[in-house]
Amino acid sequence: MWRFLGLLVLCSLVSPSQGGPKGLSHGIVSIVSPATALKYVSSVFLRNELLQSHFLAIQFPDVPHKDKHPENWIKELHVVRVFTPSVSLELYEKVDSLVCIKARFHLSGKFFFGKHFERIDIILDVDIKAEVRFDAFFAGGFHIRLQVCKSEFAIARIICPSHLSVNNVRPVVTTILAASFHKMVCTAVEVVINVSGVDFLHTANVFFSMGTVATMQYQLASLPLITSNYVALEFNMIIRTGGRYITLPVGAGPVTLPVLHHHGFCLGMSQASLDAILMVLIQIRVQEFISTPEVFSAASELTTIVASLLSHQKCPKCPLKAPLKITISLVGIRRIILEPKRAVIELSVEIALLAKGPSGSLVGLFVMKANLKLSVRASVFGGRLIFTTKLASLELLLVSSQVGPVNVSVLVKLMKLLIAETFVPQVNECLDVGIPLPPVLHIRWNYPAIHFTQGMLALCV
């Protein structure tokens, strides 16, 4: 976590107009703006008064003043209240970062003024600077080392009984605080930063289910990338399906995120990563049905055109008006093409046409291969990226024929309608499962801007 905080410090230097990282080896990356980074660090430190609660746990030892005189003794000094601290970050290039905390403490204790103890209250302004270093990345985690912790305090006010002189109390309080406060406050800060580290890793290394198809895990792939302009995070995506594991991306090349503009966070998924995900998501069983108007609106027209393609010399046993049986099989790979402002899913199906012979048994006529291009509309709902497709184009080829040569070009229009009515809805049903998005830094995926660029899909909030 220390490393990540340093990371976030760096983030504070990011220019909103800067683009994303270039040359990353993985296909799933994110980039964080300074405002979002600072907001995250502050929110984690202050959530449920995490930082304040650790400061409140500070207990000062009952130590007499250095001259050992009992009239200069304070005991039961403790923290009564911590006013809401402010947290800021500064980046030291590459490995060192500075976490700065300013807070006002209300201390209370008992001061021995000669015969018995009287309560005193102290208002203390504290400035803490913790320099941290990050290293030893392993399996989605890393080590955070506290290099230097410095604290300075200034007594803003001392409240004591009227008969007790503030001038007498101040040097005693100052001496006690100088001897013990620094170590205790730095220990509290170190604990909080490590707790924050666990919080960050919890948002970066996450498991999801993808319906009944698969389970998915996002895992931090490397140490955060720190430059003078941005902080980037790389992720591995591990999918378990059918008893096997797929780690994404496989052989992905360098990727580049679009500029942040006014956004605070962008997550980018490369084309290679999405290709692998689509291979898992789009699993469609062979569709078999009798071509009737209830199933396919142009069933009658299809039967007529197929009949016109056949002659009694070619297929003397083929009935010309009996309903056709159609099978549609998904074949080959599924891939997405990402271009500026658009995306297309490419896949192929084989369409087989059969008819009943005189004996009532099915007779195969011919098999066609349709190479499909589906236009893609992307949206996010419930923290998942959902693609909705629409048939954009179809290329039709004859694969095999039991009735001799067939001019399938005359069937293109009808096959487009057939695919649009029967197959594309199946594709969209598969895609409705959605691709889970990681809640990095507790990002809420509410109405993100979706950008298609060359080889990259980016979601920005």
Residue 352 has pLDDT above 80, yes or no: yes
Instruction: Please name the residue that has the structure tokens 């003043």.
Output: 65
pLDDT of residue 255: 58
DSSP 150: E
**What span, in angstroms and rounded, lies between the C-alpha atoms of 4 and 220?**
12
In this prediction, residue 363 carries a pLDDT of 83
Written as one string, the DSSP assignment of 28-77 is EEEEE-HHHHHHHHHHHHHGGGHHHHHHHT-B----B-TT--GGGEEEEE
CATH code linked to domain 2-204: 3.15.10.10
For residue 217, the model assigns a pLDDT of 94
CA distance 94 to 91: 8
User: For 28-51, what is the mean pLDDT?
Assistant: 89
Place of tokens 């001061």: 111
> What backbone phi and psi angles, to 5 degrees, belong to 19?
-80, -175
Q: CA–CA separation, 203 vs 317, rounded Å?
A: 65
State the pLDDT at residue 2: 42
Q: Average pLDDT for residues 180-204, to the nearest whole number? A: 92
pLDDT at 15: 32
Q: Which residue has the higher pLDDT, 103 or 403?
A: 103
In this predicted structure, the answer to whether residue 381 has a pLDDT above a threshold of 50 is yes
**CA 271 distance to own-chain centroid:** 16
Q: What percent of the chain has pLDDT over 90?
A: 54
Q: Where in the chain is the domain with CATH 3.15.10.10?
A: 2-204
**pLDDT category, 10, cuts 50, 70, 90?**
very low
The pLDDT value recorded for residue 66 is 53
Question: pLDDT exceeding 70 applies to what percent of the chain?
Answer: 84
Residue 266 has pLDDT above 80, yes or no: yes
Residues in the chain, overall count: 461
User: What local confidence, expressed as pLDDT, does residue 165 receive?
Assistant: 76
| Cα angle, residue 328 at apex, residues 325 and 330 outer, rounded to 5° | 165
**Per mean pLDDT, which range of 140-149, 291-300, 407-416 is the poorest?**
140-149
| Tokens read off for 286 | 């062979």
Q: Does domain 280-435 have CATH number 3.15.20.10?
A: yes
d(CA 28, CA 317): 57
Most confident residue range from 230-244, 263-277, 313-327, 380-394: 380-394
Check whether 81 has a pLDDT greater than 70. Answer: yes
pLDDT band at 164 (very low <50, low <70, confident <90, very high): low
pLDDT tens digits, 323-351: 899 999 999 999 999 999 999 999 999 99
Average pLDDT, stretch 354-379? 89
Decide: residue 360, CB within 10 A, 0-12 exposed, 13-18 middle, 19+ buried: exposed
**394 band by pLDDT with thresholds 50, 70 and 90:** very high
Confidence of residue 3 (pLDDT cuts 50, 70, 90): very low
Q: Residue 197: its pLDDT value, please? A: 86
pLDDT for 308 equals: 83
What residue spans in the chain does CATH classification 3.15.20.10 cover? 280-435
